[in-house]
């Protein structure tokens, strides 16, 4: 097997996978030895993210999710961070 074949076994392709609002469209140029993917967001914007950022959940959208959460919070009068899928940060009294 060539070096490229071994590398693809260690780091499987993310093409076509969906991570929250992002769908991986193509592999972008790697930076600092990390694989970078070009993703299409549900809102239509494009966003680049590393494999780790996608698989760990650090990136869920191009930034539109944060904006949407703020708009919903403004309408309902709730804290925008309590509307996140993780439920926000726990309070210090717990």
Report the pLDDT value the prediction gives residue 1, as an integer from 0 to 100.
Answer: 47
Fold entry, domain 3-83: Phosphorylase Kinase; domain 1 (3.30.200)
CA distances from 66 to 31, 56, 72, 91 (A): 26, 18, 10, 21
Can you give the residue ranges of every domain in the chain?
3-83
Instruction: State the pTM of this model.
Output: 0.66
**Of the candidates 20, 6, 8, which has an alpha carbon nearest to the alpha carbon of residue 53?**
20
Residue 33's pLDDT is 85
**Which pLDDT does position 85 carry in this prediction?**
54
Range list of H helices, 13-88 = 51-56, 64-76
Q: What is the pLDDT of residue 9?
A: 54
Show pLDDT as tens, one digit a residue, over the chain (94 residues): 455 544 555 667 889 899 999 999 999 888 888 999 999 999 999 999 999 999 999 999 999 988 888 888 888 887 766 655 545 455 445 4
């Amino acid at each position: 097997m060539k070096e490229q074949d071994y590398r693809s076994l260690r780091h499987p392709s993310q093409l076509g996978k969906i991570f929250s609002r992002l769908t991986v469209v193509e592999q972008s140029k790697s930076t600092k030895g990390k694989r970078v993917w070009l993703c299409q967001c549900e809102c239509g914007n494009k966003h680049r993210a590393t494999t780790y950022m996608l698989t760990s959940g650090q990136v869920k959208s191009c930034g539109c999710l944060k904006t949407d959460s703020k708009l919903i919070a403004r309408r309902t009068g709730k804290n925008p961070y309590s509307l996140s899928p993780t439920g926000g940060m726990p309070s210090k009294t717990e």
